[in-house]
């Protein structure tokens, strides 16, 4: 597992053409429109690809401010024991079943949130990108849930299967209730898109923070693949660009709340 901290540097005055950056604790380099971050093994690896650079003359983007303000919580949510074991292929089938059964209930409410976000999109381009993603989730990801749950069902008694499929753990229930309230009553595109961005950013990052074993069973690998690769990074880039158009003060509370609930979701499922 590579625990990587995201800390933004401040630019020093210098005669150098490119300038130097003063570290706060971890070196962050802006190279070829990638954010590179220095991991435990000393190598620079990309976290994600922001489209905007910031310098002394340009304010820090909203998405970078959100990550800087909630760095410790972000690290916990994206380096959790559950996802480490999933990537290593050592996550017990019972825990995987609980996690997927709970996430399937979350997934269905998440689609409602994404649909609401799409309905208030501020322009045609955003509307179309969001609408296409709804179709992807309704097909590829939905199919995986049902196929994998059926495959590992023997890992727990039928009564437990029904309980985890039909009822929610308290922490998951709090998260789903927030999803449903937000989808029903929130009208701010800024808050809605930040909600979606935070959820997806956690899932973009945890496969990067955990060492993925070679030759994983499909029950693990397919879930990882759904949250890795160009298709998911492009989706998260779009969300980041949308968030960067938002006012930090308006969306920071949403980001922090969702990030905390993501961590609690992992904690709840891991404890079963």
Q: Look at residue 44 in the predicted model and tell me its pLDDT.
A: 53
Give residue-wise pLDDT tens across range 40-62.
455 555 555 444 444 445 789 99
4 falls in which pLDDT band (50, 70, 90)?
Answer: very low
Average pLDDT, the chain: 84
Segments making up each domain of the chain, as ranges:
77-270
Task: Find the radius of gyration of the CA atoms of the chain.
Answer: 19
Q: Look at residue 108 in the predicted model and tell me its pLDDT.
A: 84
Helices (H), the chain: 62-69, 71-78, 81-88, 93-119, 124-136, 142-151, 158-166, 170-185, 189-209, 218-225, 230-243, 248-270
Mean pLDDT for the stretch of residues 138-157: 89
- Counting residues of the chain whose pLDDT is more than 70, the rounded percentage is 78
Q: Which CATH superfamily is domain 77-270 in?
A: Heme oxygenase-like (1.20.910.10)
6 falls in which pLDDT band (50, 70, 90)?
Answer: very low
Q: Look at residue 223 in the predicted model and tell me its pLDDT.
A: 94
Q: Look at residue 43 in the predicted model and tell me its pLDDT.
A: 55
User: Residue 262 and residue 256: Cα distance in Å, rounded?
Assistant: 10
Kindly tell me if the per-residue pLDDT of 128 is higher than 70: yes
DSSP type of residue 186: -
DSSP type of residue 31: E
Q: Look at residue 143 in the predicted model and tell me its pLDDT.
A: 86
28 falls in which pLDDT band (50, 70, 90)?
Answer: very low
Q: Look at residue 229 in the predicted model and tell me its pLDDT.
A: 83
Kindly tell me if the per-residue pLDDT of 36 is higher than 70: no
Find the helix packing angle between 189-209 and 81-88, rounded to 10°. Answer: 50
Which residues have C-beta within 8 Å of that of residue 108, sequence separation ≥ 6? none
Mean pLDDT for the stretch of residues 141-146: 84
2 falls in which pLDDT band (50, 70, 90)?
Answer: very low
Kindly tell me if the per-residue pLDDT of 231 is higher than 90: no
């Amino acid at each position: 597992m590579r625990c990587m901290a995201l800390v933004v540097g401040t630019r020093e005055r210098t005669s150098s053409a490119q300038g130097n950056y003063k570290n706060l604790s971890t070196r962050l380099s802006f190279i070829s429109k990638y954010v590179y971050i220095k991991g435990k093994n000393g190598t620079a690896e990309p976290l994600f690809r922001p489209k905007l650079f910031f310098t002394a003359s340009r304010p820090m983007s909203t998405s970078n401010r959100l990550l800087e303000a909630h760095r410790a919580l972000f690290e916990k949510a994206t380096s959790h024991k559950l996802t480490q074991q999933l990537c290593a292929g050592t996550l017990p089938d019972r825990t995987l079943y609980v996690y997927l059964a709970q996430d399937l209930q979350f997934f269905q409410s998440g689609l409602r949130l994404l649909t609401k976000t799409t309905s208030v999109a501020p322009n045609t381009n955003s509307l179309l990108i969001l609408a296409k993603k709804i179709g992807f989730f309704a097909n590829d990801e939905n199919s995986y849930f049902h196929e994998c749950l059926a495959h590992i069902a023997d890992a727990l008694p039928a009564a437990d299967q029904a309980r985890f499929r039909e009822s929610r753990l308290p922490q998951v229930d709090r998260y789903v209730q927030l999803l449903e309230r937000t989808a029903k009553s929130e009208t701010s595109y800024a808050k809605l898109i930040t909600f979606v961005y935070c959820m997806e950013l956690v899932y973009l990052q945890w496969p990067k923070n955990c060492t993925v074993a070679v030759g994983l069973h499909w029950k693990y690998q397919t879930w990882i693949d759904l949250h890795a690769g160009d298709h998911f990074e492009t989706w998260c880039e779009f969300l980041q660009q949308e968030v960067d158009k938002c006012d930090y003060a308006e969306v920071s509370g949403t980001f922090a709340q969702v990030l905390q609930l993501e961590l609690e979701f992992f904690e709840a499922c891991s404890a079963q």
